[in-house]
Amino acid sequence: MLSHDCQIRVWYKHTDQMAICHHSNYICYYEAARSEFLRALGMSFAEVERRGIMMPILEVQSKYRKPAYFDELLTVRISLREIPSTRINFYYEIFNEQGDLLNTGMTQLGFIHSDSRRPCRCPEWFLDLIRKDWAE
């Protein structure tokens, strides 16, 4: 398993009239965490695409447990629980500053060739990035 923590502040524009973080922002927080996770592994999504691979979203799940509020500093914990094959599943937990679990989620991404947009298996160089830090 691999995991990484990313911190995100709830901006005013992320909130509704009750100063509560709007539910749609959590999906954006997942994306930010994926980008930072990949960077922590030594790769960026831009580099993945330069190498001819795209990773479209296939599925999103999100469970809202407690609200996040304007100006709170959130910790988004992203984890990879299994080695990917043709798809990769990322799992998320979002905590507030007090350590309360606010949200859990999952995104499933596929691997496709950039030129043909046809599905493919996870590239070996991507698997190498994951395996170097993998912990059972």
pLDDT, averaged in runs of 10, over the chain (136 residues): 96 92 97 97 95 97 97 98 96 98 98 97 95 82
Distances (CA, A) of 119 to 35, 88, 92, 113: 21, 13, 25, 6
Residue 33 has a pLDDT of 98
Residue 93 has a pLDDT of 98
This prediction has a pTM of 0.94
Q: Say if CB 26 and CB 103 are below 8 A apart.
A: yes
Domain 2-131 bears CATH identifier 3.10.129.10: yes
Residue 136 has a pLDDT of 66
Which one, of 54, 56, 71, lies nearest residue 19 by Cα?
71
